[in-house]
Each structure stands twice: as structure tokens, then as C-alpha cells.
Structure 1
């Protein structure tokens, strides 16, 4: 064998020694993947057999080294995307729904700008400029693009294709200033009236009402739960017979592309599991709904299709939008009820209680995204100033 430079995973010059009974020992120094050089040897009847046995031992040791990546700095960016998506699926750490969203964001937002580039051509400046241009169109789109681009390039770094992740050094995205919107009590009652009018069959528009939409609205108002969490409530999650009626939020409805909607056995996050004491108007709506349920099993969904299958969140959104359009009410989404509840609880009980009700571990999330800021300063300040700066007679 020829001498080879002792880089990691290579061997040096092979030497031969005599052994008892006329056998031959072939040996060489091999630098393992822990960086240490070790003596490896093999014994056989002839020199050639000993050399082949030594090669087999070296080949076996090389199996311990990290697998070579199919990518290189010269690989096109779409090759990394395909490899990254396949790696996510094999890893199994994200849900199918999340994987679909990642794939959608990558193909819609990132690939149009990066499809013609090789990995070595993707640097900090290019990523930074891309995100800034996208942020001019939509902060949300730029934020989604940043997530998937960072994850894909992070895989290239872990596989030693790129020396660093360019996304680690791009400028921060600045969220446009906005105030969370919420409904006033008057607007809530207008939504209730429109829904009642529609469910009474007084509107000829759309399919025949099944009586669920009004109850869904009352449960959202009484629990602050997300629409998917409301639709995942089962008979066993409801207690309307005790002195303090309650609902346990323990799942959500998810819709996979090309598949029927199904119930996921945890809410948006595992920490969002909670039991919520419900107000009387929600308890009454739930009692009426339970009375109409044909399925008496504990796992029966409180809200379901006529076949007993889960109702999709998109169907509820579309139905609510159609009903309120008839009443001339626009801009109301299921998530607005969650912000409405958070705003009301904050005003009467404080932000800590509002965060607890929403299932947030950090009240700052509640303040930033869910509570409508009141422009009215506490009138107590006027009384204090009167006492301090009252005009002398």
C-alpha cells in the first residue's frame, strides 16, 4: 500500500512482520474519527491475505465516521430544501400540519428568490436583503420565510456543508405597531343577535342551520379557547352539573392536506391544557347542545357534523363570516372572541388572570397580542390632583 497522509479517517504506510507458524502480520497507523492515531493490524497466511484482512478492518472502522452528506457548497438550494424536508419527516419531531406549513412557506416565499443559487452563494447580505424586501410587503410573510430559511440553512451547517448559518447575523424584523382589536359588549350582543336570527331560519341564505354556531360563540366567549380547541371539546370534558360548571380544554382539531379533520389529543401547546370555570350563559348553551347530541359516549364531540365527525375550523370561520355579513358586521373572526375575553378579564381582574385564562405562561404575550389598550386613564388621577392642587379661597 502507498503511504497516505494521516488525516482523520486515513492510514499510514503498511508494515509487515513475521508471526509464529510462518504467518504474516500487516499493520498500519490509522487516525480514527476521535482524532487519535491507533495501530491496526491483521494476521494471515500470506502477505496478500494479511493485506486484504487489514483493508477489511480499516473499512469496518470507517463505518464509525459520520456519513458523508449528499450536499456540498456547490449544491443548488432546491436540493437542500428537498433534503431538509425529508430530514424533518424522518426525524418525526414536528406534526404533519407543521411540516406542511413549512413546505408551503418554503415554496411560496423562499424558493422563488433562491431557486437559482448554490449554497455557497447564500450569504448574510443576500438573506438580509431578501427579508427586508419581503417585510415591505408583509411582516407576517417575512417572519415565516425567516423561520424556514433559518432551519434549512441550519441543517447545512450541522452537516458541515456551510461553515455558518447566514441567518444568525441578519437584521431583526420590526413588527409594525398595532393594537389588538376586541369587541365591545354592545358588539358582542349584535353578533349574538345576528347568529340567533340566522339559526331561527329567518335568512334564506346558505345551508340549513344545525344550531351549533350560536353555542360555539357562547363557548368561545366563556372559555377564551381557540376555535380548534372549542371544536375538540368532548362530552367527557364538560361538567355542567356541579356547583361550578367547567370545561376542560384538552385537544384541538387539525386538518391535514388531503385528509379528513381529526382531533389532536392536546391543544396548541401541551401547557395549554386547562380546566376553565364557565359563566352561566356558556353553561346554558352547553346544556342545550348536550341535549341534542345523539352519541352518548364520553368521547363524543360536543360539536360535530351530522355524521359525528369533527367540524373543521375553516367551516366555522366561513359560516360565521356569512352570517355576520348578512347583519352588516365585518371584521369579526373566531380569534377576536379570544382577544375580547382577554380584554374584559384584564379590565376587571388584571393581566395575570387574563394570561392564566388564555393558557399563556408569559403575561407579556397576553399584553402584546390579546388585550385592547384603553386610552382612558384611571379617573382617580383627577381626584388626586384636586386634593393636591385645589385653588385656595
Structure 2
């Protein structure tokens, strides 16, 4: 045998020995999960072949293949993504919809740009240019979503020692385009009500008539500020119309996972946004109507549901609303527009703190930035105050 030669490999210091027949034996001391150092070796026709076989052998050792200890600076980004997704499932702290969104954004937005790179090749410059191109060709929102999942995955690589630092943290700050929340006016709300109430109600049309749930859902959104998924998740037991004003407990949302049935999640978008809200009389009247429909159903029964008694999906409600309003010549209105309208009305009457409380926000900062339409009108009392600057009457 030839003299042993050494090199630093992914798993530590490899030793290479050439046998009389010309084959190469690669060896390394590997610390197993029990903390013991053991000699592991593999043979190949070439040094690279022996090393590759040795690495494969190491990754098959108990407790190693299912983990992430095989991540290194030489691992591909695709390998990191597999480990990252498995880690998300292991921690199980994300809502199914968020988990699905993360994977979709990773595979559709990020993977095409980085899948062929090793981790050591992904630096600040590459990430910075990628995010800027995405913001320019797509949108700020798309670039921000890509940055989020890329940072999470590379952060995992840092935690497992494959990278020394997360290159996403070094990129240029993203600048959100100037925009402002737009609320609906009272006239616009009434026009929407009229369009939904009259849609397909005229005689002579084939097919079943609308069941009236969409207009009722709109009244509940306007009276509670709840998200569309939260409204569709309301149950019989969440409503109390025996008191004045009537109350609604918002404590769930509707989830539609890809490839699985739609179901009710037992908390809203965030755990902290569970709340009990008092509703105006027009919303209370709609809730009474729904309670009559489910009068003989158990307390956990949903107030809004399909003809098959399954949960309504948020996408179907959005699609139906969009179709109706398009036929009425109304554009740019989504279910979230009602939430912004409620926030703006409350802000005008009592300030952003009350609006934030009703919307289930932990801070009015989010409410003011994304939900309240800015008020351009200055308090008219300024005119009275400035009267003191009027020119004095000339003496006769």
C-alpha cells in the first residue's frame, strides 16, 4: 500500500490510501450520535469516487440520514430546502396555510434562481441582485415573500454550521412603494349591497337562485371587521343575540389546504386575535336570520355553509363577489375592503386604538399603516383660531 495522504473533507479529516491494485481507500473518524469516535472507510477507483462512497456511507449511519448534520458549505441549495421543509414539519408551529405558502414561495420564486448553487456560492451579492430583480420584474410584495423564505432557509444553514452568516441580512434595505389604504364610502357600500342583493334575482333565469348568504356575509364583515375566513368560521355557539348589543366571538378561521378538504381552524389568523365584539343592529338582524336556519343543529354548527353542509371556502366567496361586482361595473373591491372601511370609520369617530382593538391587532401601528385611509381634512377649528390674524378695521 502507498503512504497515507490526508485532506480536510466535509466530515472531518479524510485519509486516503492507495492499495497495490490501484484502488483508493478513504477513511475518516466519525463521531456517532452516542458521542463515540469510530473509523469509517470506503473504497473507490479514484480518490473522488472513494470520498463520494464514504460520504454516502456516513449519511446512512443511524440517526444521521434523517437529520441535518450532512449539511455543509458544499451542500446544494436544493438539499438545504429539503432539510428546511422537514424542519418546518418537525417543529409544527406553522398553520397549514402558512406552511403551504412558504413551500410554494420557495419552489416557485427562489428555487429557480438558486437550486444549482452550493451554499458556499450563495453570497450577499447574489441574494441582493436576486431580490432587486424580483422587485423590479414582479412586485415589492413578491420580493418580500421570497426574501422571507430565503432568509429562513439560510438561517437554518447557519444554525447547523453549514454557513457562518446569513447573506440575506447583508442585502440592501427594501423600500416599499408609496401607497395608502382606501376605504369604501357609504354610497359605495350601498351600491355593493344593491348589486349583490339583485344578482340573478330576475325571472326567466335557469339554475338555482342565490341563497342570500353572500349579502349576509357582507353585513357581518361590516359589523365585526372580521376577515372573510373568520366570518365563514362563525358557529352557532359563537353568537349571542339575547343581549343588547348582540355579541360575536371571533375564534376561528376557514382553511383550505391544497389537496385536502376545507376545514375550520380553532383559532383566527393569530392566536392573539381571538376576541368578542359587540355588533350593530343590522348585523344582529342577519345573525338572527342565520340562527333560525340552524335552529335544529348542534351548537358547533357553522352559520354559513354549502348546500352539502360543508364549510364555504374563502376563494369561492371572493370569486362570487368579484363576478357580481364586475357585472355591476364595480371594480377593485375585495372582502378586505370592508375591513379597511370599518377601521377608517372607527378611526374618524374614536381614533386608531379602538380600530386596532376591534380588528384584533396588537398595535395601532399596523392598523394605521394598512387599514385606515388617511384623513386629508384638517380640523376646521383652525379657521376660527386664525381669525385673530385678520386685518384691523381702518379708523373712520
- TM-score, reference length from structure 1: 0.81
- 1:162 paired with 2:163, answer yes
Contact 2:155 2:166 (C-alpha < 8 Å) held by counterparts: yes
Residues 70/202 of structure 1: CA separation in 2 closer, same or farther (3 Å cut): farther
- 1:70 paired with 2:60, answer no
Who is 1:259 aligned against? 260
Map 1:44-63 → 2, pairs under 5 A:
none
Contact 2:222 2:342 (C-alpha < 8 Å) held by counterparts: yes
Report the Cα offset of residue 307 of structure 1: 2.0
Task: Give distance in 1, aligned partners of 2:366 and 2:200.
Answer: 36
Map 1:126-165 → 2, pairs under 5 A:
126-136=126-136, 137-165=138-166
Task: Give distance in 2, aligned partners of 1:125 and 1:251.
Answer: 43
Report the Cα offset of residue 91 of structure 1: 2.0
Task: Give distance in 2, aligned partners of 1:379 and 1:130.
Answer: 49
Residues 269/68 of structure 1: CA separation in 2 closer, same or farther (3 Å cut): closer
Residues 68/185 of structure 1: CA separation in 2 closer, same or farther (3 Å cut): closer
Residues 72/291 of structure 1: CA separation in 2 closer, same or farther (3 Å cut): same
Contact 2:230 2:251 (C-alpha < 8 Å) held by counterparts: yes
Contact 1:181 1:339 (C-alpha < 8 Å) held by counterparts: yes
Map 1:284-363 → 2, pairs under 5 A:
284-293=285-294, 295-363=296-364
Who is 2:40 aligned against? none
Q: Residues 24-48 of structure 1: CA distance to partner in whole angstroms, max 9, x if unpaired?
A: xxxxxxxx99xxxxxxxxxxxxxxx
Residues 68/188 of structure 1: CA separation in 2 closer, same or farther (3 Å cut): closer
Q: Residues 151-180 of structure 1: CA distance to partner in whole angstroms, max 9, x if unpaired?
A: 100111111011111112112211111011
Who is 1:100 aligned against? 100
Report the Cα offset of residue 382 of structure 1: 1.1
Who is 1:230 aligned against? 231
Task: Give distance in 2, aligned partners of 1:207 and 1:230.
Answer: 24
Residues 232/178 of structure 1: CA separation in 2 closer, same or farther (3 Å cut): same
Q: Residues 16-75 of structure 1: CA distance to partner in whole angstroms, max 9, x if unpaired?
A: xxxxxxxxxxxxxxxx99xxxxxxxxxxxxxxxxxxxxxxxxxxxxx999x771222112
Please identify the structure whose Cα radius of gyration is greater.
Answer: 1
SS in 1 for 2:199: helix
SS in 2 for 1:191: helix
Q: Residues 186-221 of structure 1: CA distance to partner in whole angstroms, max 9, x if unpaired?
A: 100111111111264569498631110010000000
SS in 1 for 2:248: strand
Task: Give distance in 1, aligned partners of 2:154 and 2:247.
Answer: 46
Report the Cα offset of residue 360 of structure 1: 0.8
Who is 1:36 aligned against? none
Q: Residues 331-373 of structure 1: CA distance to partner in whole angstroms, max 9, x if unpaired?
A: 1100000000000110111111111111111101000000011
Residues 295/146 of structure 1: CA separation in 2 closer, same or farther (3 Å cut): farther
Contact 1:234 1:300 (C-alpha < 8 Å) held by counterparts: yes
Who is 1:4 aligned against? none
Task: Give distance in 2, aligned partners of 1:122 and 1:276.
Answer: 49
Contact 1:150 1:167 (C-alpha < 8 Å) held by counterparts: yes
Q: Residues 120-163 of structure 1: CA distance to partner in whole angstroms, max 9, x if unpaired?
A: 00011111111111111300111100110001001111110111
Task: Give distance in 2, aligned partners of 1:303 and 1:64.
Answer: 48
- 1:80 paired with 2:88, answer no
SS in 1 for 2:336: helix
Who is 2:381 aligned against? 380
Contact 1:201 1:209 (C-alpha < 8 Å) held by counterparts: no
Q: RMSD value over aligned CA atoms?
A: 2.9
- TM-score, reference length from structure 2: 0.81
Task: Give distance in 2, aligned partners of 1:374 and 1:207.
Answer: 44
Residues 75/218 of structure 1: CA separation in 2 closer, same or farther (3 Å cut): same
Unaligned ranges ≥5, structure 1 = 1-9, 11-31, 34-62
Task: Give distance in 1, aligned partners of 2:249 and 2:358.
Answer: 12
Contact 2:77 2:119 (C-alpha < 8 Å) held by counterparts: yes
Contact 2:245 2:281 (C-alpha < 8 Å) held by counterparts: no
Residues 107/202 of structure 1: CA separation in 2 closer, same or farther (3 Å cut): farther
